[in-house]
Amino acid sequence: MGSTPPADNLVTENPDHVHIMPPDDVHVICPTDYFSGPGKKVLLLLNQEIKLPVAAVQQVWDASQLRICADGGANQLYEYSLKHGLDWLPDFVIGDLDSLRPEVSIFYKSKGVKVKQQASQYYSDLDKAITLSNLALLDPTINLDDYDDYDGVSKHEESVTDTIQDKVSVFMMGSIGGRFDHTVSTISKLIKLHHTRPNFQFIVRNSEYNEYILFIPKGRNFVTLLQEKEYHRGEKLVKGKLPLVGLLPLACPVRLSTSGLKWDVTNWESSIEGKVSANNLLVGDNGFLVDTTGPIFVNIEI
């Protein structure tokens, strides 16, 4: 790649407002579709303190058809509910349950929440929660007592031949920003899930900072926080601070081309061992286009 002419590897600085409309054939990634777009909606809570305001969590809670705590994620929901006087109950608590506190387990069981141990260490708690999401969407009357406490739920899924035809959006809280191996495991898992569960889309919410972390597949993608009906027709909107955006080549080295960022790139080599466009800004009025030769992650400020 060292022989690429410099003109192929451009960075262009844009003004603070650029009109961008998504082409018809582009893959649209819109995390706010979770709140009113089509498809199934699943909230996964992992074991990290929930530090967001109630209104923000409530919006996600209300939009979800299924709410699952992965192991100690139940502790976090319990603490958050206590602190804010909420009576929210998840549909399921699942995992090896080595982190679930006894009083939390007793409390949720007493309220009728299904708390299911899956002791196997072959699968992570996140794996187990995603498997259960799929099964519970396929069969809302699923009875987890039918499956053993070791890896019965995962084994059952292997025997199921039905698949969900709808798009499934999974909103993950508590999976980025705490223990560093948890963060890296989440990233690694999202790369693999793109292949193993192609109809699932994952929205990761930083539990502390106002940003989404999104998996962007190879190809042409349009990343936006607006739903289609909200697209602007070229007018300049009064806006505050430009939202921060990072283009993060965590899976493999890539070449990127973008439109709608303050520093747009064209056929730009990016890798974790080389150049990374962090600290970029969104200037596209409706979002930005990113064409990538391999999967990347994007963080975008809310």
Instruction: Tell me which residues touch a copy of itself (CB under 8 A).
Output: 124, 176-185, 187-188, 191-192, 206, 208-209, 211, 213, 244-246, 248, 250-252, 272-273, 276, 278-279, 297, 299
Nearer to a copy of itself, 40 or 182 (CB): 182
Nearer to a copy of itself, 117 or 175 (CB): 175
In the complex with a copy of itself, the residue whose CB is nearer, 211 or 291, is 211
Closest CB 91 distance from a copy of itself, rounded Å = 25
Q: How far is the CB of 24 from a copy of itself (least distance, A)?
A: 30
What minimum distance in Å lies between the beta carbon of 272 and a copy of itself?
Answer: 5
State the nearest-atom distance from the C-beta of 294 to a copy of itself, in Å. Answer: 10
Least distance between a copy of itself and beta carbon 296 (Å): 10
Q: How far is the CB of 257 from a copy of itself (least distance, A)?
A: 19
Residue closer to a copy of itself (CB basis): 181 or 235: 181
Q: Among residues 108 and 268, whose Cβ is nearest to a copy of itself?
A: 268
Q: Say how far residue 44 (Cα) sits from the centre of its chain.
A: 10
Kindly tell me which of 192 and 236 has the beta carbon lying closer to a copy of itself: 192
